[in-house]
Amino acid sequence: MSISILAIESSCDDTSASVCTDGVIVSNYIANQSVHEKYGGVVPELASRAHMQNIVPVVDVALSSANCQLSSISAIAFTQSPGLIGSLLVGAQFAKSLALALNKPLIAVHHMQAHVLANLIAEEKPGFPFLCLTVSGGHTQIVLVESPVKMKVIGETLDDAAGEAFDKTAKLLGLPYPGGPLIDKYAQLGDPNRFKFAEPKITGLDFSFSGFKTSFLYFLKNAGKSLVYKEEFTATDEEQQNFIKENMYDICASLQHSIVAILLSKLKKAAKDTGIKNICLAGGVSANSELRISLQQIGEKQGWETFIPAFQYCTDNAAMIAITGYYKYLNNDFADLSVVPGARAEW
Ligand code: KG4
Ligand code: ZN
């Protein structure tokens, strides 16, 4: 008998539902929330309300485009943690109610583990063990994956995530939220070697982006003259705005180039330290075109097998929750109806 998982993802500002049958994604529908754009970041209260409005139609579309009846679903998977608690509550409550009403098993999924397992959606899957660089708006981690149900974090950011480095620097440039995709777009038109920014001095496999962000702030304050604060260089607001306007493409290209270099140098170190040559990307920032191309180029040089989820499975989506749910189902890893979502999560 085939196994069909209905999955729900509502950890941040996207409401998504997906159906996965025997490990193959048959539908994945995402409703984005444009309401946050004007606030320069996700407003949790507004996100929860939008999830409430979206969840029923989103699940309906996912089921109908998969040609699937609720009666033929084997289990319901949902994002339990981490994320915005109000957002998680909407998806968790909906999944629990559905499981109760249909008398079907419930599967609780860790959002970051699901990002990693998005690499198991494609037909060509990485062999185990593999390393995954998971880069999203809230996380930057290197994960050692021994099986779909056994993985551990071997390096992570001590402060800002890579997505935040993109979004916060974009905000300083006056770009709307989320800034990552726009920096990527403008970077294609600029010179990646024109400007240099401070490199983090963190040893080992951990990351840090806060010093990088500060150096970028001073770089703008000094209209490109210095990475450290120097009063004599401080530009007027008008000079700063003109500098940004005239150099936007080169600034974006240089920014992106620096962030990608920081990420890939740690990934290289992790591969060397562990001897693992199956290397994956995951999370929203893995949609970044330079990161994708550079990973492939480094991979060829290092003799790695590299894997990157299809574009639509990089940013938040329920297909990754569904594939994780499928492997948890095979492993008999079910939640009971007392399960509660959590803003933070243990691995
Ligand atoms: O995984 P995700 O969709 O949500 C979280 O769980 O955080 O990641 C969102 C992050 C945002 O910071 C966004 O700016 C970034 O992914 N992002 C990108 C690109 N597309 C999305 N960053 C750089 N380049 C992109 N093309
Ligand atoms: Zn995510």
41-55, 201-215, 259-273: which has the highest mean pLDDT? 259-273
pLDDT digits (tens, 9 = 90+) for 195-217: 999 889 899 999 999 999 999 99
Task: Give the pLDDT confidence score for residue 113 in this predicted structure.
Answer: 97
Neighbours of ion ligand 2 (CB under 5 A): 136, 316
Region 124-140 average pLDDT: 96
Question: Given pLDDT bands bounded at 50, 70 and 90, which one contains residue 16?
Answer: very high
- Asked whether the predicted pLDDT for residue 308 surpasses 80, the reply is yes
- Choose the weakest-confidence range: 4-13, 197-206, 319-328: 197-206
Q: Among 143, 175, 285, which residue has the most ligand 1 atoms within 8 Å of its CB, making it the best to mutate?
A: 285
List the domain boundaries for the chain: 4-120+312-330, 130-308
Q: 299: which DSSP letter?
A: H
pLDDT digits (tens, 9 = 90+) for 77-128: 999 999 999 999 999 999 999 999 999 999 999 999 999 999 999 999 999 9
Task: Give the pLDDT confidence score for residue 278 in this predicted structure.
Answer: 98
Q: What spacing in Å lies between the alpha carbon of 135 and ligand 1's midpoint?
A: 8
Q: What spacing in Å lies between the alpha carbon of 311 and ligand 2's midpoint?
A: 13
**Alpha helix locations (H) across 230-278?**
237-274
Task: Give the pLDDT confidence score for residue 42 in this predicted structure.
Answer: 82
Q: Which two tokens stand for residue 265?
A: 């140098």
| Whether the model pTM is above 0.85 | yes
**Largest alpha-carbon pair distance within the chain?**
74
Q: What spacing in Å lies between the alpha carbon of 48 and ligand 1's midpoint?
A: 20
Asked whether the bond before 178 is cis by omega within 30 degrees of 0, the reply is: yes
Q: Which atom of ligand 1 is nearest to the CA of 161?
A: 12
Region 279-298 average pLDDT: 96
Q: Which two tokens stand for residue 181?
A: 């995709």
- Asked whether the predicted pLDDT for residue 35 surpasses 90, the reply is no
User: Is the beta carbon of 21 within 6 A of some atom in ligand 1?
Assistant: no
Q: Which CATH architecture has domain 4-120+312-330?
A: 2-Layer Sandwich (3.30)
Question: Given pLDDT bands bounded at 50, 70 and 90, which one contains residue 224?
Answer: confident
Q: Which atom of ligand 1 is nearest to the CA of 170?
A: 14
Question: Given pLDDT bands bounded at 50, 70 and 90, which one contains residue 343?
Answer: confident
Tokens 């999560």, residue located: 345
Tell me if 101 sits within 8 A of 337, measured CB to CB. no
pLDDT digits (tens, 9 = 90+) for 245-263: 999 999 999 999 999 999 9
Task: Give the pLDDT confidence score for residue 29 in this predicted structure.
Answer: 98
Question: Given pLDDT bands bounded at 50, 70 and 90, which one contains residue 230?
Answer: confident
**Cβ neighbours for 264, distance < 8 A, ≥ 6 positions apart:** 291, 294, 295, 298
Fold adopted by 130-308: Nucleotidyltransferase; domain 5 (3.30.420)
- Asked whether the predicted pLDDT for residue 286 surpasses 90, the reply is yes
Region 284-292 average pLDDT: 96
Region 320-335 average pLDDT: 98
Mean pLDDT of the chain: 95
**For the residues of 153-218, what is the DSSP string, one character each?**
EEEEBSS--HHHHHHHHHHHTTPPSSHHHHHHHHHTTS-TTS---PPP---TT-B--HHHHHHHHH
Question: Given pLDDT bands bounded at 50, 70 and 90, which one contains residue 234?
Answer: confident
Q: What spacing in Å lies between the alpha carbon of 1 and ligand 1's midpoint?
A: 37
